[in-house]
Amino acid sequence: MEQLFFYIFAFAAVISAILVISVRNPVHSAFFLIVTFMQVAAIFILLRSPFLAAVQVFVYVGAVMVLFLFAVLVLDMGKETMKEHLHGQSIPAGVMAVILFLLMCYMVVKGRIVANPGSYGEAALVNNTEVIGRELYTRFIYPFEIVSLILLVALVGAIALVMQSKGKEQGK
């Protein structure tokens, strides 16, 4: 039963991912990307981490895609998208992507895991958010605080870049 759901979600994710890179209009692309993100959230639930699924939905679908759609809105995409065409690089690039995929599949089928399994079985993951929080706020304090610096740099950098170009626009 679980296997059936896995195949449904995986198939939908792969199909919509292919559509993301093959449709011309960036807005359609963004909507197919939302479908892919929802399927990935479902895969996270199959992997027994509902917290990750919730985070996936509210960060990726809720915030990242809004940012992408606003970027499409602010830019003048109309003429640009229709002009786009494939070029000489495309055939070797496609072949390289396929070779990369086959190589990775070969490695994962041939490889085997030598690490010892830890203690977080399915029973330990029932209160998923609390279990993750306990790990996050004890063993991973320093990464957690550094992440706030990354977010600060991203916020300041993005605001500085966009406000600067906005000032230039008004000066004209």
Site residues for other proteins, window 51-70 (CB under 8 A)? 51-52, 54-56, 58-60, 62-64, 66-68, 70
Q: Are 9 and 42 in contact (CB under 8 A)?
A: yes
Is residue 82 near other proteins by the rule CB under 8 A? no
Q: Are 33 and 65 in contact (CB under 8 A)?
A: yes
Residue type at position 15: I
Q: How far is CA 135 from the centre of its chain?
A: 23
Is residue 156 near other proteins by the rule CB under 8 A? yes
84-113 positions binding other proteins, by CB under 8 A: 84-87, 89-90, 93-94, 96-98, 100-101, 104-105, 108-109, 113
Size of the site for other proteins (CB under 8 A): 119
Distances (CA, A) of 94 to 13, 65, 66, 88, 91: 20, 26, 30, 11, 5
Q: Are 43 and 10 in contact (CB under 8 A)?
A: yes
113-132 positions binding other proteins, by CB under 8 A: 113, 115, 117-122, 125-127, 129-132
Is residue 31 near other proteins by the rule CB under 8 A? no
Is residue 12 near other proteins by the rule CB under 8 A? no
